[in-house]
Amino acid sequence: MSDEQSNTDYKALTDEEWKQRLPEEVYQIVRKKGTERAFTGHFDKFYESGSYYCVCCGAHLFDSDTKYNSGSGWPSFYDGDDANIKEVEDNSWMMRRVEIVCNQCEAHLGHVFPDGPQPTGTRYCVNSASLDFKPEGE
């Protein structure tokens, strides 16, 4: 995390400030709770070793050793960084789901489901647009 990132109160940024910081497609997903089309995200079939961070604030979210191919069309992980991922009830679209957001900046990441592999049985279904990847060793 850069010095600028560590000194920013992300929860205090206005909608206009987010619009200036993010590309339009990313803004629509992470700030307006959008969803990228299945099988179109950069990290869907991406399996390099490293860590995934919030594209908005740089908070650590997932490690590559917990990523797997769920067949859903979105990057999926069976475990995440509990300190930086918050679960929120989501009753939109006449469905009952659990949304996941970044705990540091409240960026929409995706949803979590109880149908993942062991050892957790959890599937974090994440929009590629909400993620930044850093290869192992960086």
Give me the active site residues, please. 125
Q: What residues contact 87, with CB distance under 8 A and at least 6 apart?
A: 98, 99, 100, 112
Among candidates 45, 44, 69, 64, which has minimal Cα distance to 53? 64
Distances from the Cα of 21 to the Cαs of 9, 18, 99, 118, in angstroms?
Answer: 14, 5, 23, 38
**Cα–Cα dist 54/30, whole Å:** 10
Cα angle for residues 87, 96, 76 (degrees, 5° grid): 55
Among candidates 57, 67, 137, 66, which has minimal Cα distance to 104? 57
